[in-house]
Every structure is written in structure tokens, then in C-alpha cells.
Amino acid sequence: MDIQIGDILTMKKPHPCGSRDWQVLRIGADFKLRCCGCGHEVMGARSKFEKNIRQVRR
């Protein structure tokens, strides 16, 4: 999957704040994402996040 820094990912499940959109801050073996709704940042395994992606916007 071709994902670059700055892309907006729409996930299958919403964040508790209600937003489904996340901005990519860091890529590699891990992703660092920021919620577009509340600004919360999370970091996790690339494989875990790639399963939950519904759409990628540049």
C-alpha cells in the first residue's frame, strides 16, 4: 500500500471523538497518526493500521 507523510486515512471504525480521519505523521515499520477530530496522536504497527484503512486521500 502506497502511503506517504501528510496523507489523510479514513478508517473503518471511528475514534471515540467521532472522527474516522487520521493524518499520517511518520511511516516505516510503524505508523504515527494524528486524529483529525481531536488531535490525539497514536503510534502502532503498520500491519495493524493497514487492515483498518478504508480510503487514502492525498
Q: Where are the domains of the chain?
A: 8-57
- 43: closest CA among 26, 21, 19? 26
Residues above pLDDT 70, as percent of the chain? 100
Sheet holding 41-45, edge to edge: 41-45, 30-35, 21-26, 8-11, 53-57
Mean pLDDT of 2-10: 97
Q: pLDDT band at residue 14, thresholds of 50, 70 and 90?
A: very high
User: 37-49 pLDDT, tens per residue?
Assistant: 999 999 999 999 9
Model pTM score: 0.93
